[in-house]
């Protein structure tokens, strides 16, 4: 994952529970239940990117919202302002500092990426081989291996507690690990449809697939 590219450019904790690892292993059904039982969501996230030696490369944070299937909004506020909007057919990535908008078709932008799991549906799960990874740090862990060998990610791990998804860890093909921790994640709120619409700001350069 490129450091400025954010969650959807490749392509997204709460506090980790401090209780002992006594929970049973997560099952693929846990992810299916989360997907089927969470049609909309909003919350905050913290993202850290580490190199293959676990040296911290970048730390950022922001807000997220999604409406299944295929609509989502990721807003990075620190350290760089970046907005990523999926409107159901296209994904718009707006880099405020560069005044540049990149547009991709939704199916090409998602593919075997984390957004396919969060904003997709049961069909999105078919792009991954899922397996239980046991319990650690009070969370139940599930691993997703992309079936597509050309995926930007080699492995995605998801940590759940009784309230739902708390952490995602993503290992990319360059050996970098992205850790996303979700906070204040509200499930099934009423969301303004305008959150998932995007119009390029006046004067911004627009590149990509506008068809």
Q: What is the pLDDT of residues 30-80, one digit of tens each?
A: 777 777 788 999 999 999 999 999 999 999 999 999 998 889 999 998 888
Cα 86 to Cα 36, 133, 139, 194: the distances in Å are 19, 30, 29, 11
Q: Are 69 and 120 in contact (CB under 8 A)?
A: yes
Question: Closest Cα to residue 59, out of 45, 41, 75?
Answer: 45
Q: Are 170 and 184 in contact (CB under 8 A)?
A: no
Give residue limits of the domains in the chain: 18-206
The percent of residues in the chain predicted with pLDDT above 90, rounded, is: 40
Strand, coil or helix: 176: coil
Q: What is the pLDDT of residue 165?
A: 86
The percent of residues in the chain predicted with pLDDT above 70, rounded, is: 78
The answer on pLDDT for 27 being more than 80 is no
Q: What is the pLDDT of residue 10?
A: 37
Q: Are 17 and 162 in contact (CB under 8 A)?
A: no
More reliable by pLDDT, 85 or 79: 85
From the number of C-beta atoms within 10 Å of its C-beta (0-12, 13-18, 19+), residue 80 rates as middle
Measured between alpha carbons, how far is 87 from 195 in angstroms, rounded to an integer? 9
Per-residue b/e over 120-153, b at no fewer than 16 CB within 10 Å? beeebbebbebeeeebebbbbbbbbebeeeebbb
Q: What is the pLDDT of residue 88?
A: 87
Q: 18-206, what's its fold?
A: outer membrane lipoprotein receptor (LolB), chain A (2.50.20)
Percent composition of the chain: helix, strand, coil (DSSP 3-state, to 5): 15, 45, 40
Q: Is the pTM of this model over 0.95?
A: no
């Amino acid at each position: 994952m490129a450091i400025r590219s954010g969650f959807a450019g490749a392509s997204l904790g709460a506090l980790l529970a401090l209780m002992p690892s006594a929970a049973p292993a997560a099952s693929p059904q846990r992810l299916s239940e989360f997907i089927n039982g969470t049609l909309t969501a909003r919350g905050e996230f913290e993202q850290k990117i580490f190199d293959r030696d676990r040296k911290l490369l970048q730390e950022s944070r922001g807000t997220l919202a999604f409406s299944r299937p295929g609509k989502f909004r990721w807003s990075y506020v620190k350290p760089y302002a970046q907005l990523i909007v999926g409107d159901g057919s296209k994904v718009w990535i707006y880099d405020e500092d560069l005044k540049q908008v990149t547009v991709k078709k939704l199916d090409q932008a998602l593919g075997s990426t984390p957004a396919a799991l969060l904003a997709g549906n049961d069909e999105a799960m078919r792009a991954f081989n899922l397996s239980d990874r046991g319990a650690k740090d009070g969370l139940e862990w599930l691993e997703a291996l992309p079936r597509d060998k050309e995926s930007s990610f080699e492995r995605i791990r998801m940590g759940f507690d009784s309230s739902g998804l708390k952490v995602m860890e993503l290992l990319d093909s360059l050996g970098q690990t992205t850790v996303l921790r979700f906070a204040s994640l509200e499930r099934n709120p009423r969301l303004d449809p305008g959150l998932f619409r995007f119009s390029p700001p006046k004067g911004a350069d627009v590149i990509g697939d506008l068809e």
